[in-house]
Chain A
Amino acid sequence: MRHVAWIVLPALLIGLGIGLALAWVVFPLGAVNSSPGALRADFKDQYRSAIAAAFASNGNLERARARLELLGDTDAIVALNAQAQRMLADNKTEQASDAAALASALAQGNAYVAPVLTTSTPYSYPTTQPTAAEDDALSAPTVFDDFASLTSETSLTQIVVEATARPTQTRMPTQSAPFALIGQESLCDANLPDGLLQILVLNANRKQLPGAEVHIAWAGGKESFFTGLKPELGNGYADFIMTPDVSYTVQLALGSDVAAALLAPSCKASNGALFTGGFKLTFQQP
């Protein structure tokens, strides 16, 4: 009997090894019934963008939050801000604005002012299992349970969208709440580039707002740029180099006070050398 065991045990182990090799290497199960968190980075961006666009349409922050959790980002706000900046760089300004607005709403922790009415129902994902045809017998239960546990929280089912019927389809919520110019100071810092115009845009909670479009005009020209393109200096930061002796006017595209007659100041360094100073403008949502 002991002789049999000496043969059976190695055979069992060898069989186990062959079975694992077949299951993991030769015939792995196809990728089906996956979750959004398993998507490739560019598709995750697309998914995130769709979430932001839907949020911009219905203002349902909890629905957006539940959807973002499916992507498995360690910090959804950071991910949205980073995506907004990538989109700005790709000239996808509307989508960037949606992503930035969702990031801001999440950061503020309250519902965004819904610009457009869509649904006004509580959010509840279906809790039934997929049909047999859709269900992958091997992987679906685990993943679906995760999803169900995420979406069947009472907090989700009790949410009522704060959107109410509005007469217009204005997409930018801040148009009704223009930004105020709360700070305008001339800077004489020889360490900064000559004629540097710094702009900082804050939301109502004094958090920096990425993706805000800034209009600057001068005699014979105008230009637009966005906050958040230099995240190392702040998500709500943007800058512009002013030409000496040219008067500039600055306003936010979202609606704001106008900073007019900005003329780069002439400054004197400690060694007596002259250089062109700059300005720092701070806009804040009331």
Chain B
Amino acid sequence: MKSNRWLFAFIALLAGVALGLAYGWIVEPVDFFDLTPDTLRADYKADYVLMVAETYRARSDPGFAARQLAVFGSQSPTSFASQGLEYARANDFASEDISLIQELITALQAWSGIP
């Protein structure tokens, strides 16, 4: 009976840990703030790429577009824009928007980086 009691206690302890983890990770996870753009969800990243593409259409300045995309860290602007294009295609963005992003990628690929 005594060993059973400790077994119950151990099981209760494990159950408590599991409940605590579930609450802390799922129900009430830690709120983050002051984050960097690379943590943005894929749809927000794709929308950012679209914004850059919209601006590029008007300004025709790949250097400016590359600087706008540089906030996402060490990844090259072209590969980042390509990821945005993949997301846009997979999620039925308007064809005009997809064309804008394609246009941006083409310009970034041709851009030497030297002003």
Contacts and interface: CB of A to CB of B under 8 A. Distances in A.
B29 A11 contact: no
A244 B53 CA distance: 51
Nearest to A126: B91
Contacts of A51: 51
Given A14-B13, A22-B24, A43-B37, 12 more contacts: A7-B6, A7-B9, A16-B16, A17-B20, A19-B22, A28-B30, A35-B41, A35-B44, A36-B40, A116-B58, A119-B100, A138-B25
A174 interface: no
Contact of A47 (B14, B37, B54, B59): B37
A141 B81 CA distance: 25
A158 interface: no
B92 A126 contact: yes
Contacts of B47: 67, 125
A50 interface: yes
Contacts of B13: 11-12, 14-15, 18
A168 B32 CA distance: 45
Contacts of B24: 19-20, 22-24, 28
A171 B59 CA distance: 9
10 contacts: A19-B19, A23-B29, A34-B39, A40-B34, A54-B50, A56-B58, A115-B58, A119-B100, A134-B41, A134-B42
Interface size for chain B: under 10, 10 to 19, 20 to 34, or 35 or more residues?
Answer: 35 or more
Contacts of B12: 7-9, 11-12, 15
Contacts of B16: 11-19
A90 B7 CA distance: 67
Dominant secondary structure at the A interface: helix
Contact of A7 (B5, B25, B26, B32): B5
A270 to B, nearest CB: 56
Interface of A: 3-4, 7-9, 11-24, 28-29, 31-36, 38-41, 43, 46-47, 50-51, 53-54, 56-58, 67, 70, 115-116, 118-122, 124-126, 128, 130-131, 134, 138-140, 143-144, 147, 169, 171
B7 to A, nearest CB: 10
B15 A15 contact: yes
Interface string B27-67: 00110111111011111100110111011011100000000
A40 B36 contact: yes
B58 A31 contact: no
Contacts of A67: 47, 51
Contacts of B54: 53-54, 57-58, 118-119
A17 B16 CA distance: 8
B57 A39 contact: no
B43 A118 contact: no
B114 interface: no
